[in-house]
Structure formats: C-alpha cells, structure tokens
Amino acid sequence: MKDMEPAQVSGKTSEHVLTYADGSRRRVFVTLVETPYPHGKLIVSRTDPLGIITQCNPSFVDMSGYTEAEIIGQPHCILRHPDMPAAAFRDLWDTVKAGRQWNGYVKNLRKDGGYYWVYATVVPNIRDGQIVGFTSVRREPSREKVIAAEAHYRSLNGS
Amino acid sequence: MTPNLTVSPSFPTERISDWYIFNTWLQRALGLPIHLELYDSFGAQRAAIAEGKVDMIYANPFDASLLVREKGFRAVVQPEGQPDEMLIIAAAEGPASAITALRPGTRLACSDDPCVNTVGRILLEPANLDPSNTIEHRRETYIQVAREVLRGEADIGFLPVDAFNALSSLVRRDLQVLVTSQLHVIHHVFLVGPALHERADEITTLLASMHESEKGRRILEALGARHWEPVQREDVEFMIDIISTLTQ
C-alpha cells in the first residue's frame, strides 16, 4: 500500500507510521477533522479472504474520500486510523476467520487525513462450508458510544 | 397439486387486485393453475410458510433470507432498481425534530413488517434508543401507524417509503420525516419453493421478459415496477449476509 502524500492532506497534520498484521508499513498523515456520519446511511463493503476490497456501495466511497476505482483492489486496512489499537483488529480477524460475526466501534481514516466513526459489523461469507470473503456493514453510532470507545482505545494504546 | 403464490403483506392495499391480475397472467403464461393467497399480516404469512403452504412468493428481504437458507427456496427475479427503504415519521407540529433529539420513553408506532422494524431500530441507535427504553405500539396497517402519530398517541412511526408516498397529501402535510434509510442493497425478490425448482428457469425467463409485451408492461406498472431482472444466487447470498449483520 502506498504511503499517504502530505499534499493529499490539508490543515494541521500529524505523521504516523502504521505497521499492519502482515508486517508491511505505511506512512499516514492525520488531521483532527471529523466527517459526521450521514443519517440513514449504511456503509457496505466486501473483501476477499485476504481483506482486499472487492465491492463497496456509494456511501463507502463518499465517506472514505477515495474514488471507487481507487479503493477497489486495496486492502481494507487502507482505512485504518492510527488511534485504533492493533488489538481491536486482531480480535476482528480472529473472530471472523473462525466463522463468527464481529461487532465494534471503529475510527476510520479518510483519504484526506480526517476521520469518521462507525459501528461496524463484519460477517464471514460462507459458501459450501468455505469462507470466500467478508462483508462489512457500518452504521451510525451514538456519540456516547463513540466517547466510550475513544477512552477504551486510548487506554489500550497506553496514552 | 395447485401451487400457492403469496405476496409479502408490505404492498399497498390498493394493489390487491393488481396481484390477482398478475396471478392470472402467470397462470396463463405457465399453463399452470396457481392459487393466490394474500395474508393480512406477516405472522399469518410466516405460519403458512412454516406449514409448507407457500410455493411461490414475492418476499421482503428478511423473509427471503429465511426462505433461501432454511426452506430451500430459490430467488429468481427482483424488480429493477427498487431497493427497500423505510423512514421514521413524526407529527409535523410535534416536539420531535431529529432522531438525536428523541429521549428514552419515546413511543413508537410500527406494523409487524420485520424489514421496516429492523432498519427502523438501527436508525434509532444514534439516539441510544432500543426496545428496552422505548414503548412500542404494534398496529395492523401502515395507515394505523400514521394515524397514531398524527393523533399524538405515538411520538414516531416506522413506515416503508412506498407506504408513506401512498398516504394522501393532506396526511403527509401533517407529518415530518425525521430520517430516511439509504441502504441501497436490500430489496424484495420473487422466489420459488422446492416443489417448483424444476420450472425455476422457465419462470425466470417468463418474468424477465414480462415487460416486452404491452399487457405484461401494464401489469408491472400497476404493481409499481418497470421490469423484473434475474437474480444470481450470489446476489441473494450477499443480501442475506447483509441482513445477518442487521439482525444481530
């Protein structure tokens, strides 16, 4: 995955280097600008078994800030925000690879360095007994739940 | 054996006769006598499904997923470009002006439509409202849901978008829409049961070309559709995966 370019991001930014589960690294620039979750919408995407995005709906495109052409074929962790603890994603992958559903509050990183909060549900796509991919549906979280998740993730990150 | 056809009770009541006309068309096209049975509630229809009394059905996404996964039904077609969406209404002059302004103790009126109610509940989550801190009034029809909101007996109501649009302009004027779902990805589908699987391809072809004749096009228009499009098995599996994320 390509590093973010500073030119993609405007305003005051902080720089981070993320290390993913496969050991790869990516430099990202983040801002404190939150994009509010649009009322009534669901963000839907599918990945292959390796987490590569194969399909998404217009809400996914709008909220991520990428075009559909830019996002299809990318690993889902392109949306990973540095404030999200690695343990949360480890739990997600362990759960869905075991064939179970995962739910949780997630702070996602936009292409422009901003962020948005979602309540995410991920299910394995099981066909003829085999996991052929994963479907994720995100919906609007309440502010109270976001505040609680932020505090929890800060404690997990030790900050 | 005469196969039974039924339709999800979510359609507007003024379309009852149009479904009978559709059934007459289908019987002639297939050369097969078909009995159309319309149920006035989702509960009655689910009981009929459980008793094996349904062989063909135009089903809402939630019932469709149950029929495919648990009853061996096969989805054959869906109306082109018609995702199922719902909305939450309040009285135009009422105190509720936004979902996040709703408080515990909110009284909500709804029908027994599982699709509308599940999505409606999701749209209340930003206000931290759930069945434990709301008062639910189940009503028989969408009209009764709207009436209850208008009379101030409920603070909000759940309606399918089609049902809201079918209300008279006078009624709609006295209501406000707090939020409309934009799921885009779930929709009604036409399914055939195991007893008709050997004719499923024939039924798919017939329905997918229904709009090509003047008569077929008129029937479809009366039902609020332009044409049927074939459904691939994976499309339905995807919809079922999405529904499973909504119902947990």
B79 and B196 both lie in a single domain? yes
What average pLDDT is seen over chain B? 93
Is the distance from CB of A102 to CB of A126 less than 8 angstroms? no
The two beta strands, B56-59 and A130-139, are unpaired
Query: Contacts of residue A137 in chain B, CB cutoff 8 Å?
Result: 242, 245-246
Which of B127, B161, B180 is the C-terminal boundary of a domain? B180
Structural domain boundaries enclosing A109: 34-157
Minimum CA–CA partner of A118 in chain B: B126
First-residue to last-residue Cα distance in chain B: 39
B165 and B191 both lie in a single domain? no
Checking if the pLDDT of B81 tops 80, the result is no
Which of B122, B146, B180 is the C-terminal boundary of a domain? B180
Name the minimum distance, in Å, from the CA of A4 to any CA of chain B: 30
B44 and B61 both lie in a single domain? yes
Amino acid B151: pLDDT: 95
Q: What is the arrangement of strands in the sheet containing A43-47, beginning at the earlier edge strand?
A: A53-56, A43-47, A130-139, A115-127, A102-109
What pLDDT band is residue B12 in, cutting at 50, 70 and 90? confident
B115 and B231 both lie in a single domain? no
Give kind and range of the element (H or E) at residue B121.
helix B114-124
- CB-based burial, B82-110: b 16+ in 10 Å, e otherwise: ebbbbbbbbbeebebeebbebeeebbbbb
What pLDDT band is residue B128 in, cutting at 50, 70 and 90? very high
B70 and B90 both lie in a single domain? no
Checking if the pLDDT of A119 tops 80, the result is yes
What pLDDT band is residue B162 in, cutting at 50, 70 and 90? confident
CB contact under 8 A, A39 and B128: no
Q: CA B166, B171, B177 angle in degrees (round to 5)?
A: 80
Checking if the pLDDT of B130 tops 70, the result is yes
In this prediction, residues A40-53 reach a mean pLDDT of 95
Checking if the pLDDT of A79 tops 80, the result is yes
Amino acid A159: pLDDT: 66
Q: What are phi and psi of B189, to 5 degrees?
A: -140, 155
CB contact under 8 A, B185 and A42: yes
The minimal CB distance from A44 to the residues B99, B128, B185 is found for: B185
Amino acid B185: pLDDT: 85
Asked if the C-beta of B97 comes within 8 angstroms of chain A's C-beta atoms, the answer is no
B25 and B66 both lie in a single domain? yes
Token pair of A21 as six digits:
């589960």
B134 and B174 both lie in a single domain? yes
B169 and B207 both lie in a single domain? no
**Tokens 């499923």 label which residue?**
B200
In this prediction, residues B99-118 reach a mean pLDDT of 94
Measured CA to CA, the distance from residue B42 to residue B29 in angstroms comes to 28
Checking if the pLDDT of B47 tops 90, the result is yes
In this prediction, residues B122-126 reach a mean pLDDT of 95
B92 and B174 both lie in a single domain? yes
- State pLDDT tens for residues B175-214: 999 999 998 888 999 999 999 999 999 999 999 999 999 9
CB contact under 8 A, B122 and A145: no
CB contact under 8 A, A139 and B125: yes
Amino acid B79: pLDDT: 93
Cβ pairs bridging A and B (under 8 Å):
69
Structural domain boundaries enclosing B36: 4-83+185-246
* Helices and strands: H and E segment counts in chain A: 4, 7
Is residue A107 a part of any domain in this protein?
yes
In this prediction, residues B136-142 reach a mean pLDDT of 92
In this prediction, residues A124-133 reach a mean pLDDT of 93
Amino acid A50: pLDDT: 93
CATH number at residue B159: 3.40.190.10
Is residue A125 a part of any domain in this protein?
yes
Measured CA to CA, the distance from residue A52 to residue B231 in angstroms comes to 25
Complex ipTM, two decimals? 0.86
Domain count, chain B: 2
In terms of Cβ atoms closer than 10 Å to its own Cβ (0-12, 13-18, 19+), residue B54 is: buried
CATH number at residue A125: 3.30.450.20
Domain count, chain A: 1
Share of chain B above pLDDT 70, in %: 100
Is residue A129 a part of any domain in this protein?
yes
Which residue out of A62, A126, A136, A137 would a mutagenesis test of the B interface target, given it has the greatest number of B Cβ atoms within 10 Å?
A137
Is residue A22 a part of any domain in this protein?
no
Is residue A67 a part of any domain in this protein?
yes
